Amino acid sequence: MAKAFDFPGGIHPPQRKALSTRTPLIQAALPTHVVLPMDQHIGNPAEPCVEIGQRVRTGERVALAQGMISADVHASITGTVTAIEEHPIPHPSQGKRLCVVIERDPNGDDDWCRMPPLDWRHADEDTLLERLRHSGVVGLGGAGFPTQIKARVRELHAIDTLLVNAAECEPYITADDLTLRTYPDDVIEGAQLFARLCGAERILIGIEDNKPEAVEALNESLRRHAEDSVPIELKIIATRYPSGGEKQLIKRLLNREVPSHGLPADVGVLCHNPGTLRAAVRAVRDGEPLISRVVTLTGEALARPGNVEARLGTSMHELLNAAGLKEDELARLVMGGPMMGFALDTTALPLAKTTNCLIAATEHELPAPPKEQPCIRCAACEQVCPASLLPQQLYWFAKAREHDKAELFNLFDCIECGACSYVCPSHIPLVQYYQAAKGEIRERRREAHKAEHARHRFEFRQARLAHEAAEKEAKRQARAQAASRVAARTAQPSRQEPRGEDAATAKEQVKQLRIAQAAAKAALRKAEKALARASEAGEGELDDLEVQVATARENLQATEARLAAAQKDEQQGEPRQ
């Protein structure tokens, strides 16, 4: 494919990348202690599996992934676990989360605990997936999606192209650039590994033309790897924000449109960031779990900006100080890029798996945002939206909380790139409006789901109580009958007449209970089928369905108990007729 296609919109903000590319990638000093948050990824937080006082070695697992979407966490230094407690984490909410704190050994050794190396070209697929599952690798581009789930994409989708997303289009950030310059072989080997796992026939590397050194390094490495199994092609594209958006890059390089609400896998593409590929290959080939990452330290408040490879959990304060932080000039600390990142209140935060860039900006460099003005309907936002949305419309809907309409206008296709806010002459924080609207919609869905779940739990309890009551009643009746039989034997009764009526109502009751029993059986079968189908497809709310099956079972048992009691009643009545 010689021709590059194009995505709509886009902007050309100043790059400011040169700030951090002048010096080579360096290794940060080993920290004296690390704080490892339990959620550094999308999905469920991991659960600590170490105790306070326990000695851990570098690479040892300290927390276990929970549920389907989650990732393990590993010790990034050798030392002693001194605390498992809530600690501030780098997150826009500025909240605290559970963290494992490790104090480094006084003697300062970096004693590794590695997994056995694997030859990924020959090892079987399950072994490789298992290894990725236990190595804590997540998307290092900033999103933090657990990599092993992406590696399993083959189970549901046919993939023909593995796309290495090296566009790195956001200003300031150069972590991928330096990773590619320094470790091109690892990245390419990682791409081959993933091509094998997802069954891709070719590998495309998409890179913007503002990284000539990285391109040079890649080309050289490609010459060395000429005999590799899956063909690799390097695609250089013109620099334009946000060409590094997955959907935008796919459109640009392959002319494929990822459908609304869809994933790249829907059009046969799997995207990975170079840093993630390197981390994956290190986990497989060298047996080293994810315990460090490359982070860009930049901004004019730093005397020595550049890229460092640092252990996860290192305090940002330490890293920034090592880069020559001029505290009196620091006006704002931003994690991520200036377009999609967020401001941090403090430097007393740990480096997380998703921390790709820290910008220590001066007042002059990133001034406080001006006041928001009313929308003048200039439509500048529409011209730059790379997702072909109508940002102005979305803004009105979000503001008025008209969520249905916002969804109708594809709010969820917004990639929050910020191009619209960037050009808006009224300084409207458009992205924040969209984020708020998305958040409210998601919360409403969550609440609805929670309500549905509570309803099923409530119904289950009702059924359980009914079942218990029915059984008690049956037992009581049995006792009463036994007593009356004894009484009947001793004194011959003359109660023939009412017996007849009793028998008639008993018969009627048995009939009705039989119908109820059939209905309860049908309901149980239906619930069981739904559960079986859902667990086969691996989707839907399994626990909710399980509660429904249990409810149906309780209901059936309750009717059966009542039926048995009524039948006994009936038989009792009959011989005397």
Partner 1 sequence: MLELITNNEILAAIVALLGLAAAFGALLGFAAERFKVEGDPVVEKIDALLPQTQCGQCGYPGCRPYAEAISQGDEINKCPPGGDTTIAALADLLGREPKPLDGEAQDIPKVAYIHEDECIGCTKCIQACPVDAILGAARHMHTVIESECTGCDLCVDPCPVDCIDMLPRQRTPDEWYWPLPDGPGHRPTSVTPTLIATDRVSAIGQGAGHG
Which one, 88 or 386, has the nearer CB to ligand SF4? 386
- The answer to whether 465 contacts ligand SF4 (rule: CB under 6 A) is no
**For the window 58-97, what string marks contact with partner 1 as x by the rule CB under 8 A?**
-------------------------------x-xxx-x-x
Angle 374-170-280 from CA coordinates, rounded to 5°: 135
- CA-nearest of 396, 388, 434 to 412 is 434
Which one, 319 or 385, has the nearer CB to ligand SF4? 385
Q: How many CA atoms lie within 13 A of 514 on its CB side?
A: 7
**DSSP state at residue 322:** H
Per CB under 6 A, the list member of 417, 441, 552, 564 interacting with ligand SF4 is 417
Answer yes or no: are the C-beta atoms of 326 and 263 closer than 8 Å: no
How far is Cα 302 from Cα 23, in angstroms, rounded to an integer? Answer: 13
Question: SS3 of 52, please?
Answer: coil
- The answer to whether 18 contacts partner 1 (rule: CB under 8 A) is no
CB of 61 to partner 1, least distance (A): 22
Using CB under 6 A, which of the segments 42-50, 145-153, 355-363, 413-421 binds ligand SF4?
A: 413-421
Strands lying side by side in the sheet with 96-104: 33-37, 96-104, 79-88, 55-56
- The answer to whether 431 contacts ligand SF4 (rule: CB under 6 A) is yes
Residue 365 site contact among partner 1, ligand SF4, none (CB < 5 to 8 Å, cut-off depends on kind): partner 1
Using CB under 8 A, which of the segments 255-263, 271-279, 307-315, 339-347 binds partner 1?
A: 339-347
Residue 429 site contact among ligand SF4, partner 1, none (CB < 5 to 8 Å, cut-off depends on kind): partner 1
Per CB under 8 A, the list member of 436, 466, 478, 530 interacting with partner 1 is 436
- C-alpha distances in angstroms, 367 versus 330, 338, 373? 11, 12, 17
Which one, 120 or 434, has the nearer CB to ligand SF4? 434
Contacting partner 1 within 505-524 (CB under 8 A): 515, 518-519, 522
Contacting ligand SF4 within 390-409 (CB under 6 A): 391-392, 395
- The answer to whether 341 contacts ligand SF4 (rule: CB under 6 A) is no
Contacting partner 1 within 40-59 (CB under 8 A): 42, 45
How far is Cα 288 from Cα 60, in angstroms, rounded to an integer? Answer: 10
375 is an annotated ligand-binding site residue: yes
424 is an annotated ligand-binding site residue: yes
Tokens encoding 180: 């590619």
- CA-nearest of 362, 413, 404, 405 to 385 is 413
Per CB under 6 A, the list member of 425, 493, 500, 538 interacting with ligand SF4 is 425
Question: SS3 of 468, please?
Answer: helix
Per CB under 8 A, the list member of 1, 408, 451, 532 interacting with partner 1 is 451
Using CB under 6 A, which of the segments 189-197, 399-407, 412-420, 458-466 binds ligand SF4?
A: 412-420
- The answer to whether 258 contacts ligand SF4 (rule: CB under 6 A) is no
| 118-124 contacts, C-beta under 8 A, 24 or more apart | 118/284, 118/285, 118/287, 119/285, 120/193, 120/196, 120/281, 120/284, 120/285, 121/196, 123/284
Using CB under 8 A, which of the segments 54-62, 315-323, 332-340, 406-414 binds partner 1?
A: 332-340
CB of 268 to ligand SF4, least distance (A): 23
Which one, 213 or 443, has the nearer CB to partner 1? 443
Contacting partner 1 within 113-152 (CB under 8 A): none
- The answer to whether 450 contacts ligand SF4 (rule: CB under 6 A) is no
Answer yes or no: are the C-beta atoms of 293 and 309 closer than 8 Å: yes
Contacting partner 1 within 215-244 (CB under 8 A): 239
CB of 367 to partner 1, least distance (A): 6
- The answer to whether 269 contacts ligand SF4 (rule: CB under 6 A) is no
Using CB under 8 A, which of the segments 76-84, 106-114, 155-163, 338-346 binds partner 1?
A: 338-346
Contacting ligand SF4 within 346-375 (CB under 6 A): 375
- C-alpha distances in angstroms, 536 versus 168, 266, 307, 542, 549? 39, 21, 46, 10, 16
What is the H or E stretch that residue 61 is in?
strand 61-64
- The answer to whether 50 contacts ligand SF4 (rule: CB under 6 A) is no
Which residue stretches of 430-495 are H helix?
430-490
How far is Cα 171 from Cα 497, in angstroms, rounded to an integer? Answer: 96
**DSSP state at residue 347:** S
Residue with tokens 């869809």, as numbered in its chain: 262
Residue with tokens 């994810």, as numbered in its chain: 290
- C-alpha distances in angstroms, 387 versus 299, 330, 357, 498? 30, 35, 25, 81
Which one, 309 or 365, has the nearer CB to partner 1? 365
Contacting ligand SF4 within 136-155 (CB under 6 A): none
How far is Cα 463 from Cα 25, in angstroms, rounded to an integer? Answer: 64
Per CB under 6 A, the list member of 18, 379, 522, 542 interacting with ligand SF4 is 379
Strands 79-88 and 73-74: unpaired
378 is an annotated ligand-binding site residue: yes
Residue type, 63: A
Tokens encoding 558: 């309750």
Count of chain residues binding partner 1 (CB under 8 A): 78
Per CB under 6 A, the list member of 385, 441, 474, 506 interacting with ligand SF4 is 385
Residue ranges of the annotated binding site are: 375, 378, 381, 385, 414, 417, 420, 424
Site residues (CB under 6 A) for ligand SF4? 375-381, 384-387, 389, 391-392, 395, 414-420, 423-426, 428, 430-431
Binding residues for [4Fe-4S] cluster: 375, 378, 381, 385, 414, 417, 420, 424
